[in-house]
């Protein structure tokens, strides 16, 4: 399953060099994951959380290839990867500008309960992962 989200780079996203500050790429990726999960499950992230499934980043590996700049129109592409277990999901993400790869990453997610203990992801989320 794939999600795509268009974003615009605003002044608040940039650093003193006029390019997107590195941590803001993670924010773009978060938006892409949230939109994909909401679209795919028909439930908002808030609804998923209220049901006792708190989704947290366990690991983020990001490669910065080219900078995004002020007022660039970019697209966040998010894919579920076939790796993982009922306790860990892997997602591949890319930030593109007019077909050019700017940033890519693999994000590992875990699901937590209200006491911040790892629990299985709900079946409707696990079913989004492609078969290995």
- The span from the CA of 34 to the CA of 98, in Å, is 23
User: ∠130-33-12 over CA atoms, to 5°?
Assistant: 155
Q: What is the gyration radius of the CA atoms in the chain, in angstroms?
A: 15
Annotated catalytic residue, options 6, 13, 15, 79: 15
Residue 94 dihedral angles phi and psi, to the nearest 5°: -140, 145
Is 79 catalytic? The answer is no
Q: List residues with catalytic annotation.
A: 15
């Amino acid at each position: 399953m794939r999600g795509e989200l268009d974003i615009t780079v605003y002044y608040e996203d940039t650093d003193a060099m006029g390019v997107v500050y590195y941590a803001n790429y993670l924010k773009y990726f978060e938006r892409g994951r949230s939109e994909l999960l909401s679209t795919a499950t028909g439930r908002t992230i808030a609804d998923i959380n209220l049901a006792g499934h708190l989704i947290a980043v366990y690991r983020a590996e990001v490669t910065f290839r080219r900078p995004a700049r002020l007022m660039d129109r970019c697209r966040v592409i998010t894919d579920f990867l076939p790796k993982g277990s009922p306790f860990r999901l892997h997602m591949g993400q890319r930030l593109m500008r007019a077909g050019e790869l700017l940033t890519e990453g693999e994000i590992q997610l875990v699901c937590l309960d209200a006491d911040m203990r790892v629990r299985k992801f709900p079946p409707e989320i696990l079913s989004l992962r492609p078969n290995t």
